[in-house]
Every structure is written in structure tokens, then in C-alpha cells.
Amino acid sequence: MAKILVVTSGKGGVGKTTTTAALGAALAQAGQSVAVVDFDVGLRNLDLVMGAERRVVYDLINVVNGDAKLNQALIRDKRLENLSLLPASQTRDKDALTDEGVARVMNELREKFDWVICDSPAGIERGATLAMRHADLAVVVTNPEVSSVRDSDRIIGLLDSKTLKAERGETMEKHLILTRYDAARADRGDMLKIDDVLEILSIPLLAIIPESMEVLRASNVGCPVTLNNPLCAPSRAYIDAVRRLKGDTVPMAVPSDKKSLLNKLFTRRAA
């Protein structure tokens, strides 16, 4: 029986899809069987970040509507055989998702995998609420910035009221991943500090992902960052997050990429 994890944020562009791909790949690298599911029907991106955009035949909507079997729609990753992707449809919109259809697909996925990671669309509408509906735990992705933090607070409220778990009277397990964190800018006061974000959201911290070119570089080549360069700072933060999700105790730190002396000498290049 799988654990269903939803990656959500409220605000767009904070790193949900990157986080979904990175956590999915890191869990698969740790030997778990994982399915990542793109709920962003109409604006699908997860297939690009996973590098599977040229292999999509059937999608989530086809499976929800019963036009295709789950096995026909699941795309197995070429690099990690225990990582699969269920892509979203680009030609439809979120209204095409039915409650019963999504429930059936989630139950089927639960039977097949150890982890099911749902990449939520931005917003608080149907797509986002359906993505979180069946989740056992949630990862809330937030940038250290006021509008992102307030939107995340709104999403936490929905996680505690609109999910099946909440409706059964159980508490939803929630974790925070703070992305695009830049220690130097936080110190200068250009960015919210970690403690401020934690105080406002009051949910446990799962990881701090430092701002890094490596994330963009990995997206551009269509590879989860934890797979593309497992040793870079954001990958190490995601790998620690996965160990914490699996129950290990890992001390919290903000990983950084050590610059070599030459690098330090030549950081001020001419623009």
C-alpha cells in the first residue's frame, strides 16, 4: 500500500513541479517504487521536467474517463526503472477530472507503488483540491516571500478541511519545503528569514532548498535535479528531505556549493 503525498503551494512558480520530480527521483534512488502524477491538466509540465514529453501516449484524463488502462498511461523512467510518470493532458482542462474517476485511479496507484506523489496545480480551485483530496501527507512548497507564505497558509487551511483525511476527522501530516532560499539575501533583509516563515505557517520544516543554477540546468535537460547532479546543494537538500520522509533523523542544514579558490577569484566577471 502506497503513501500518497501531495506537493502543493497555492502560489504558482514556487517550485512544486521541480520538487515533485526531485522527491520522486530521490525516493526511487533510495529503492522505493514511485509514481509521480501530474494534476496540472491543461498546463502540464511534469513530463518536461522528467524528460518524458516525447513518450506520452495516454494521460490522466484518459485513465479517469476509462479510455485507457493505468498501465497504458504510466511512463516508466529510462534512468530509474522503479520511477513512473502519469502525465496530465494538455488539451483538456481541470473540469474533465471527475471525483469518482480520480478516486478510482488513486486507489489503483495505491495498490501498485510504495509512494504516489501528486503534483498539484497552482490555485485553490478544482485541480488543486482534487490533487490533495486522497493524500496521506502533504508537502507545502514555499518561497521566503510574503505572498507565497500567505498563499501557503491558505492551502494549509484547505488541507485541514477539504481532504478525505480531514473529513474523516484525522489530522493531515504536513511538511514545509522552503525553496529558492538565499542566505545572503535573507541576512540583508531582502527575504523572509526561515524562522519568520516557520512562525507564520507553524508546520514542521522538511528541507531548505538553496537557490541554485543547478535546478534550472536540470529542468532544461529534462532530468530531476537529484538525478542530474546528486552532489549539488539542492540535490543534497532534497535527498535529506526524502530520508526525513522515510523516518530517519537528519540534522537540518542549508547545503551550499563550496566554491573553489579559482571560482572565488573569478566571480566578478564582466557582464
Partner 1 sequence: MTASSAPTPATPARPPIRFRGRSFMALVLAPVPPVADWLEELDALARRSPAFFVGRPVILEVSGAGLDRESLRALVAALSDRAVTVMGIEGAGPGLLGDGLPPPLAGGRPVEEVAAPEAEAPEGRMSVAPAPAPARSLILDAPVRSGQTVLHLEGDITVMGSVASGAEVIAGGSLHVYGALRGRAIAGAAGNPEARITCRKFEPELIAIDGLYRTADDLGPVQRGLPAQVRLDGDAIKVAALD
Which residues would be at the binding site for partner 1 (CB under 8 A)? 124, 146, 150-151, 153-154, 156-158, 160, 199-200, 202
Q: Which is nearer to partner 1, 43 or 200 (CB)?
A: 200
Which phi and psi (to 5°) does residue 112 adopt?
-90, -30
How many residues appear in the chain? 271
Q: Which is nearer to partner 1, 153 or 257 (CB)?
A: 153
Q: How far is the CB of 197 from partner 1 (least distance, A)?
A: 12
Q: How far is the CB of 154 from partner 1 (least distance, A)?
A: 4
Q: How far is the CB of 8 from partner 1 (least distance, A)?
A: 14
Q: Which is nearer to partner 1, 145 or 153 (CB)?
A: 153
Q: Which is nearer to partner 1, 154 or 185 (CB)?
A: 154
Q: How far is the CB of 150 from partner 1 (least distance, A)?
A: 5
Q: How far is the CB of 157 from partner 1 (least distance, A)?
A: 3
Q: What sign results for the dihedral spanned by CA atoms 57, 63, 68, 72?
A: positive
Q: Which is nearer to partner 1, 154 or 259 (CB)?
A: 154
- CA dist., res. 223 & res. 225, Å (int): 6
**Which residue bears the cell 520544516?**
205
For residue 3, list its beta bridge partners.
115
Pairing of strands 173-181, 205-210: parallel
- Helix, strand, coil % over all residues of the chain, rounded to 5: 45, 15, 40
